[in-house]
Amino acid sequence: MNPRLALATAARVLNQVRHDPRTVALLLVVPSLLIGLMAWIFTNTKTFDIVGPALLGLFPFIVMFLITSITTLRERRSGTLERLMTMPLGKFDFLVGYTLAFGLLAILQSLIAVAYAVWVCGLAVSGSAWLLILVALVNAILGTTLGLFASAFATTEFQVIQFMPALVFPQILLGGIFVPRAQMPDVLRSISDWLPLSHSIDALQKVISRSDASGEVLRELGIVALWAVGLVVLGSITLRRRTP
Amino acid sequence: MNSSPAVEIANLRVHRGKLDVLRDLTLAVPRGQVVGLLGPSGSGKSTLMRSIVGAQKVAAGTITVFGVPAGAPALRKSIGYVTQAPSVYDDLTVTQNLRYFAQVIGAPRPDIQRVIHEVELEPQARQLAGDLSGGQRNRVSLAVALLGSPELLVLDEPTVGLDPVLRRDLWALFASLAARGVSLLVSSHVMDEARRCDRILLLHQGRLLADETPAGLLTLTGADDPDDAFLALVSGASA
Ligand SMILES: Nc1ncnc2c1ncn2[C@@H]1O[C@H](COP(=O)(O)OP(=O)(O)OP(=O)(O)O)[C@@H](O)[C@H]1O
Ligand SMILES: [Mg+2]
């Protein structure tokens, strides 16, 4: 891997996003609006304290998954990927470049969403707010790497959208937002133990509810990060210089 | 590098889907010449070019570029490739596109201005590629291939959609590159462009029908313009 080329690729991707101000605005503002709506719906109940943190983890994951898979799909279809693959650009330069660019966007998104949830919606965070942002960032990176991997199996934008119910929704359902994971049937529980999103939701809920859980949070994040690394490796296998 | 031809292909077979696109193709592209790759639509021109730049899975045969197997990492800096559909980022400006690709191949910065000038896009340099006309976008794609100092240019229909003046200018550019020692393989649908090549490869249903100079092609067929020569050869092969 060549860090200079990964950075050049990240800068290029950010430049592309910059020319699409509407996407940037949606990316940065919509999560906060939805969190605000949630807080409003659950006024006078304790539900927001459970759902709020999970949302902070879900948004970066889902948004980055969609954006990444669609941008890389476009790159495959427009021929720019074919061209890049005939040039001295390594596969990891490409994948890491994308991860860096969208990771940076995710940090911005998370800063805004966390600030809004804490200061405007009154979400109480017992742990460190920085740890909360770190969790959101790792989630975004997970979404980015899953998107990079999934785009290899899609030939149209429609298929990419279908990957949402296929790859993302089960993880949300099994992630412990609707029913705590401890109360799930054993089979589902053990499946859920293997899914990355379960661990990021656990991590979020620990940061929010306890001030002494930093070690456990980092351990959960470690599992999510392992998944992200694994997906980048899988992604590099699906990225072919020669195609049929 | 050594003295082998720019491209040397022996018994190349390529399948795409269920189709045998290239069937037992053997040919060479000499150094320092403009070689035209002609043939009916679907004859396998783009597939052949993809094979040469190492983007195509091949079923059998050998391809060497400057004596090195096609697709080898050592070749990635020395080949400029233009895909048939312009492959540039629509949501970047012309200059931003070129800056990124220049970074990837390690071309010096002044190269960006040079190639913009060579494809005559100075007035559009700060426009988004997506806002350009089809021919202008094609030229951005061509400009990317000219970055750095490629020793082989593989250009898939680079002059499609351009007016005669621009076409003439680009062919003059190709000739001057060849005079500097660059080897070019240029595919085209326009028979008129065949006259401007040093050699012509005529592809038909994945087989090589002719490997001639433009004059040789006319003598071979007894035709007096390239269009007729093309028709004579292709209808002879289909019969
Ligand atoms: N991705 C693909 N999958 C399956 N078959 C393909 C694919 N791309 C091209 N083909 C087939 O391979 C054959 C050769 O295609 P190719 O693009 O090489 O032709 P071409 O000579 O470049 O044509 P044109 O002048 O129209 O660009 C065609 O019959 C086409 O149908
Ligand atoms: Mg073609």
Angstrom distance (rounded) from CA A172 to CA A193: 13
ipTM, two decimals: 0.90
Low-confidence ranges of chain A (pLDDT < 70): none
> What is the rounded distance in angstroms from the CA atom of residue B12 to the CA atom of residue A239?
24
pLDDT band at B128 (very low <50, low <70, confident <90, very high): very high
Q: Give the residue among B133, B184, B186 at the shortest CA–CA distance from B161.
A: B133
- Comparison of pLDDT for B101 and A69, the residue scoring more: B101
Per-residue pLDDT band for B2 (boundaries 50, 70, 90) equals low
Burial of B96 (0-12, 13-18, 19+ CB in 10 A): buried
Characterize the bridge pairing of strands B34-38 and B199-204: parallel
By Cβ distance, the residue of B55, B89, B91 closest to A85 is: B55
CA nearest to B18 within chain A: A244
Subunit contact A242:B79, Cβ cutoff 8 A: no
pLDDT at B1 over 60: no
Judged by a CB distance cut-off of 8 A, whether residue A162 touches chain B is no
φ, ψ for residue B103 (rounded to 5)? -65, -40
| d(C-alpha B118, C-alpha B187), whole Å | 20
Mean pLDDT calculated for residue range B219-238: 79
Share of chain B above pLDDT 90, in %: 70
SS3 B28: strand
In the numeric block, the tokens 């304290």 are attached to A49
- Over range B146-152, report the average pLDDT: 93
Can you give the pLDDT at residue B50?
95
Of A4, A82, A88, the CB nearest to B83: A82
Position B239 scores a pLDDT of 62
Give mean pLDDT, residues B119-135.
94
Tokens (6 digits) for B80: 């400029």
Q: Over the Cα atoms of chain A, what is R_g?
A: 18
Question: Is there an atom of ligand 1 within 6 Å of B45 CB?
Answer: yes
Q: Is B56 in the pocket of ligand 1 (CB under 6 A)?
A: no
Judged by DSSP in three states, B140 sits in: helix
Q: Helices in chain A by DSSP H: which ranges?
A: 3-18, 21-41, 47-77, 80-85, 91-115, 129-150, 157-163, 169-173, 186-194, 196-209, 214-238
- Residues 37-96 on A with a CB inside 8 Å of B are 78-80, 82-89
Cβ–ligand 1 distance for B57 under 6 Å, the answer: no
Residue B7 has a pLDDT of 94
* pLDDT reported for residue A226: 94
Global pTM? 0.90
* Mean pLDDT within B94-111: 96
